[in-house]
Each structure stands twice: as structure tokens, then as C-alpha cells.
Chain A
Amino acid sequence: MKTLYLSAALGLLTTAAAAQDRQLQLYNWGDYTSPEMIEKFEGETGIDVTITDYDSNDTALAKVQAGGHGFDLVVPSANYVQIWVEQGLLQELDHARLTNIGNIAPEWVDVAWDPGRRYTIPWQWGSTGVSVNTSVYSGDINTSNIFLDPPPELHGKINVVPEMNDIISLTIMNVGGEPCTEDLEVLRQVRDKLMNAKQYWLSMDYDSEAKLSANDIMAAATWNGPSMRARLNNPPVQFGYPKEGYPLWMDSVALLADAQNVDEAYEFLDFIMAPENAAMISNYARYGNGIAGSEEFMDAEMRTAPEIAIPEEHRAAGVFLPSCPASAVNIYSQIWTELQS
């Protein structure tokens, strides 16, 4: 890190880090990587890790597709992994070089987007559901009607995360359809439902946590992580898993086809599959990680959190969203545009 700092300050035009050092270029979501975990990895291996942030799957994909990016590892979401593989942007992992590969929890090995984990290693996973301040509304919170057909107590006090894919999918499942559906009858209901619900929303913003904590809003359609952090500040905030169906997501680490530092990347992948290291990531980013045995290294408040460990009765309704074809996305984005115009 220090070398980069100096070279940036002195020689403007020099390429990133000193070449003789062993280094690793991680391209990850912003504020998602535990600095303590990186420090530990650097201390153990002597590899200099540089993290570069992105803020959306689309940005990351476009950037790597454009070529000449210089990254080694990237962390795409489940519904994007197939796109990365199809475009030939990832290289297949040599499991023989990953001694900790057996640590992946059984339910996270044969996942739909990467059967047998040929390309990706789990990073963090979570769910998109609803968050409700139960001191204001005490009815059933395990339903997407919290934001699609809200009870009067919540009118005008709802924030909806501006993720087209998550919100459209929640609505499709609410009216009884399948994610990625192109059934126009279903989609008409989706549009009407959303257009009608919008009047009850206060905002469509990413930051549900601060607003729930400060009682600026009383409900939100959001991820489990912000909801848990809001509960720690404001106990009545509970996370609901919509019984009509709700999206599950997992971001996984993948090795880029044109990675420069392949050996270092393998060391890193192996490192993050050790339970104590995976727990460091979770303790920082506040999501589950998919590595068996990491729970015992997690902070106490996370081990028991109903937002992280999905209660048994709600598991069945969770769905990993596939990546929808362009024909479906086009209809969704028209509905989305109409919603925000």
C-alpha cells in the first residue's frame, strides 16, 4: 500500500505498484472487503493487495469486457455469473490448488449458477425482503404487501431500494408469477400493482439503514444486512421474508481469464475459505458467507440474527433469481421507467 501511495504522489504516470513485489488486484463492491482480513492475508503471505471498488454488476462487467483492466479477481452476483462465464471472462478453477475447497457448506456447492463451483468461491450472501418498524405496525410482516399494498399505518413512510431486478421480481412473485416471466397478463398486474403502490412510498433510495434507525421511515423493501444493522440501532425494526416469494442473492469471487497474478489469486481464494477468515468478511460486511464452521468465529450478534440465518419456515419461499433474457428485461425497464417518470 505504501509503495502505491508514494508512487502516486511522486511519479504521476508510473504504473500502479512496484513490479518486484508479489501483488494481487481485487475488483470488488465498495465497502465490502474487511480491511483486517486483508491485513492478515498480507501479513501471512507478503502479497500486496490492491482493492478497486465498483458500484454495480453492470459497471464491473462493462469494464472488464472493455479489456486491459489489470484485475485478477472479481465478485459478481449470482445472476451475473453465467454472463461472465458465457463471455469467456473467467477461468475455470483448479480445485487441486484449493486445499480449503471442502469448507464450502454443502448447500452452497451445487448452486444453479455454477454447479460444482467450477468458477466461483462464495463471498457473501443475503436476501431481499421487507423491513418493518413493528412499533408502528404489528400485523404480519412476512409479505411483500408491506410495500406493494401497505397497511394504512405505513402509508408515506416506506423506502424502496432502487434495484429494478429485485423489486420487479418481488412484485412478480407477489402476483403469482415466476421470476423472468414474459407473461403479459402477469406483467400487467405487476405494473398496476407498482403504479398504485408508489403513492405510498416516501422514497426510492439505497440507504434504508439510516432512515430506519432514525425513524424517518417505518418500512422498507431492502436487503437483510441494512435491516439487521437498523435493528441494532432501533430494536423494533424487524426483517420479514415475503411468503409470496423473495429473492436470494450471493456474490462469489471469480478468477478472471486474463488475470496477471494467478498464483497470488489462488492463495487468496484458499485463504478466504478458512472459516476464521470468512468470518472476518462477514463481521465486516454483515452478511452470511457460505463457509461451513465460520459461524463460531462470527460476532455473537450475527450468529443469532434472524436476518442472517433464515428461520426454517421461511426458507422455501427464497428464490435465486436467474439472469433474465433481454426480451424480459426490456419489458421490465419500460415498467420501471413508467414507474419513475
Chain B
Amino acid sequence: MTEIRVAAAPDAPPLAATRTAPPFSVTRMPGFGLVAVASFAVLYLPIITLVIFSFNASTSMSSWGGLSLDWYRAAWRNEVVQEATVRSLILATSAAVISTTVATLAALGTTRQGRFPGRTAIYAMVNQPLMVPEIVTAVSLLIVFGFVRSLTGYQGLGYLILAHSAFCVPFAYLPIRARLEGMDRTLELAAADLYASPVQAFRRITLPLLAPGIMAGAMLAFVVSLDDVVITEFVKSAGQDTLATYMLGQFRRTLTPEVNAISTALLGFTLVLLTGFFLITRKRARDPR
């Protein structure tokens, strides 16, 4: 996990160089860098042990029995796990896209229009999924969806996508709203003065300004959906185990390093995707327009 090299000064594009110019940097806060490094270390320490134990020859998660790829072989042969992983990723992607889209609109609606009757009610409603433990949402969805199921006979992934999307809304909404609140409106007003249509103004001005918030919201929604186990357990139809419910099923037995191998493979896959994405965007950024 080499990406923890946070201390090294990155080769900064010229644009940002003015910001971080020594000797006096306005953005430097004493101790902040140290805490940030510590945070990354804390986040990655368990992950590193997880990766190491995925190469463990013994069946135990806590005692080292030599180097081996057995668990990777086991995971590779385990079709059930692969299906569950694919299903988890499909579900998390759908939920992230849907919830971030509606959350962005709702955030625009509740911050860009000033005060209006019902704004607090909308705010409360959007955040409602946070307020009850998952088991409660799970039970209520079980009853309602069970009814819909017997009525329509539909057994597809739609129930899970709906449940996950709804559950992820506040996780996407709050970061986007945090970005929007107090954001400078000058540019939008200027665009309107220059006869830009509201759609043009939104696409060219608001959306780019909003992008980091949307990015943060979508990422949160994605990992929240990946992690969700209780709602999924109650809502899933026959044959719809996700990685999370598969793991829950193993909860009463002892987990073997096979689950570490699965996780490590998933991490590796993520890192490859991420590196590729990063290289492409960097190349594009360097190309002259």
C-alpha cells in the first residue's frame, strides 16, 4: 500500500503552485499534515493486516502459518462469492447514481431558493433514513415489499435498488448541501445577465462548481450501499445474496482467510481502475486545449 506516501511533495501542476508557494503558505496549518497522515495510517493499518492474512497458509485469521495462495484459489473457485460480489457492485453503482441525482436536485431546491414554506419539512424527510436503526427500515420494507411481491409476482433486483437508493439519499444529500450552502451566486447571476438560459447556466456554472460535492456524495452513497447488510437481508429475493449478506451468513461460523482474499482481490481491482482513471484524467489535463 504505497499510496500512504503523503509527506512527499507531489509534482504540482503550475496552476496550484502559486497557492502552496513557500516560504509562507497561507493554507498550511500547523499539525494538520501530521493528523492527516495519522488518519490515513489508521484507515490503512487494518487493511494491510487483512491483505497480509489473505496470503496465510493456515485456516486461522489470527495465527500465521506461512505463505500461500490457497485462499485465492478457493475464492476463485467459489462462484457464489463471485456472483455476490458482482451483485453488490451493480447494486452500489445503481444506488449511488440514483440517490446522488435526486439528492443533487433536492439540495438545489432547498438551498438555492431561499426560505420557503415546507423547506424544513423537506429537510427532515430527506434525512429520515438516518434516524431509525436499519433493522426498523428493513422490517417495514419486508412487509410492504412482501405485499407488492405477492401482488405482482415481480422478484427482480428492483426492490433492492429502490431500498438502497432511498437509504443512500441523505448520505449523498448532506455533502452536496454543505457545498451549496453559502456558495457565491455571483457567477450564476452574471450568466443570467448574459442571457444564458437557466439550463445553460446550470450546466456551465453551477454543476462544475458543485462537482466536488457531488463527487463526495456519490462516493459516500456507494460505500454505504456496499456495506448495507440488514436492509439487504430482509429485502433480497431468492438468489439475491450480496457480498455483505454472504458474509453475515458466515458470521456464526468462523471466517477463514478466504474472505480476506476476496477483499484483497476487490481492493486490487479498485486500485487498477483508480490508477487507470487517474492516468487518463492527468493525460487529458496536460493536453493543450
Which residue of A1, A54, A226 contacts B233 across the interface (Cβ within 8 Å)?
Answer: A54
Whether the Cβ atoms of B86 and A8 lie closer than 8 Å is: yes
Asked if A12 and B94 sit within 8 Å, CB to CB, the answer is yes
Contacts between the two chains (Cβ within 8 Å), count: 137
Is A229 part of the binding interface, using a Cβ–Cβ cutoff of 8 Å?
Answer: yes
Q: How far is the CB of B281 from chain A (nearest CB, A)?
A: 26
**CB–CB A50/B238 < 8 A:** yes
Select which of B153, B238, B252, B255 is within 8 A of A71 by beta carbon.
Answer: B238
**Complex partner residue of B157 from A13, A69, A209, A210, CB under 8 angstroms:** A13
Q: Is the CB of B254 within 8 A of A29?
A: no
Closest chain-B Cβ to A157's Cβ sits at a distance in Å of 16
Q: In whole angstroms, what is the CA distance A16 to B287 when docked?
A: 46
Q: Does B158 contact A (CB under 8 A)?
A: yes
Q: A14-B156, A55-B233 are in contact. Are A8 and B62 (CB under 8 A)?
A: no
Interfacial chain A residues near B236, Cβ < 8 Å: 52
In contact, B83 and A16 (Cβ under 8 angstroms): no
List CB contacts (< 8 Å) of B122-164 with chain A. 139, 142-143, 145-151, 153-158, 161
Given contacts A4-B239, A35-B80, A62-B142, A68 and B248 within 8 Å (CB-CB): no
Cross-chain contact of B155 among A55, A68, A210 (Cβ < 8 A):
A68
Give A101 Cβ to nearest chain B Cβ, in Å. Answer: 26
Most A CB contacts (10 A, CB to CB) among B60, B248, B253 go to B253
B87 within 8 A of A: yes
Indicate whether B237 reaches chain A with its CB closer than 8 angstroms: yes
A: number of interface residues (CB 8 Å) = 45
Nearest chain-A residue to B91 (Cβ)?
A12
A13: chain B residues at CB < 8 Å are 156-158
CB–CB B240/A52 < 8 A: yes
Contact with B237, one of A16, A51, A53, A209 (Cβ below 8 angstroms): A16
Judge if A153 is at the interface, Cβ distance under 8 Å: no
Set B90, B158, B253: member contacting A9, Cβ < 8 A = B90
A31: shortest Cβ distance to chain B, in Å?
Answer: 5
Q: Which A residues touch B241, using CB under 8 A?
A: 52-53
Is there contact, CB below 8 Å, between A70 and B155? yes
Say whether A67 contacts B147, CB under 8 Å.
Answer: yes
Q: Which of A203-237 contact B (CB under 8 A)?
A: 206-207, 209-210, 213-214, 216, 226, 229, 233
Kindly state whether residue B251 has any CB partner on chain A within 8 Å: yes
State how many angstroms separate the Cβ of A68 from the closest Cβ of chain B. Answer: 2
How distant is A142 from chain B, measured CB to nearest CB, in Å? 24
Interface members, chain B 78-112 (any A CB < 8 Å):
78-80, 82-83, 86-87, 90, 94
- Report chain A residues within 8 Å CB of B90: 8-9, 12
A sample of 6 inter-chain contacts (CB < 8 A) reads A5-B86, A12-B156, A16-B156, A50-B238, A68-B145, A210-B254
A interface list, Cβ under 8 A from B? 1-2, 4-5, 8-9, 12-17, 25, 27, 29-32, 35, 50-55, 59, 62-63, 65-71, 206-207, 209-210, 213-214, 216, 226, 229, 233
Besides the known contacts A16-B240, A27-B238, A54-B233, 5 further A-B residue pairs in the complex with CB atoms under 8 A apart: A13-B156, A17-B239, A25-B238, A70-B149, A206-B252
